[in-house]
Chain A
Amino acid sequence: GQQVMQIPQYQHVQEGEDFTTYCNSSTTLSNIQWYKQRPGGHPVFLIQLVKSGEVKKQKRLTFQFGEAKKNSSLHITATQTTDVGTYFCAGQRYGGSQGNLIFGKGTKLSVKP
């Protein structure tokens, strides 16, 4: 069935280092969303990517959607302790139910001050 794989599962960085998480789908996606979940919290929407090759930036965060619309990445420049949390990608496949988002297992980021 439809799968969205995310790597790495965990990432430990020193404050100020960069961080990247990658998301790969077995099938073409119509769009992909990214969420952040702080420890003990609930997922919070970050961004939605729709177009092939799309790149969007939010301050230190850069999101990319692959040309084939099967992969995506989130890059954080110069991490801060406030970036700690688990980052999830969530994809919607073509032809699937409009409401059915497939979440990856997430990348848990820890930042050492």
Chain B
Amino acid sequence: GAGVSQSPRYKVAKRGQDVALRCDPISGHVSLFWYQQALGQGPEFLTYFQNEAQLDKSGLPSDRFFAERPEGSVSTLKIQRTQQEDSAVYLCASSLTFSTSGIYEQYFGPGTRLTVT
């Protein structure tokens, strides 16, 4: 079946521009996660949703970052007034639901590589 898809795959933005990154999770997956991955680093948690509810946004670096998942499926990560330090790969992941012991495996999308010039 179809995996997690993200669009666009590559985005070049001029400093100060707003960008919107889209994530289509696997159909039926309840949980959706956003991560930021800098070159040579591990993914860093940004935020996650359970259905349409944003349960944790503690990883968002500043109030310029905003995420939504209004109908509990597709999600959008918006970055306002982009800065050079926002350049990174933004990964989206989804999972079926939470197990009693923690998190079911996360399925990652291919990521959006954002370059701010």
Give residues in A with beta carbon < 8 Å to B: 6, 30-31, 33, 41-45, 48, 50, 88, 90, 92, 97-106
Contact = CB atoms under 8 A, between A and B. Distances in A.
A102 B45 CA distance: 7
A99 B103 contact: yes
A99 B42 contact: no
A103 B43 contact: yes
A48 B102 CA distance: 9
B102 A42 contact: no
Given A100-B56, A105-B41, A50 B91 contact: no
Contacts, number: 75
Interface residues of B, number: 28
Contacts of B91: 42-43
27 contacts: A30-B101, A31-B101, A31-B102, A42-B108, A42-B109, A42-B110, A43-B106, A43-B108, A50-B101, A92-B103, A97-B48, A98-B55, A98-B98, A98-B103, A99-B33, A99-B48, A99-B50, A99-B55, A100-B45, A100-B58, A100-B59, A101-B33, A101-B103, A101-B106, A105-B40, A105-B42, A106-B42
A102 B48 CA distance: 13
A103 B106 CA distance: 13
B88 to A, nearest CB: 14
B45 A44 contact: no
Interface in B37-85: 40-45, 48, 50, 55-56, 58-59
B56 A97 contact: yes
B48 A100 contact: yes
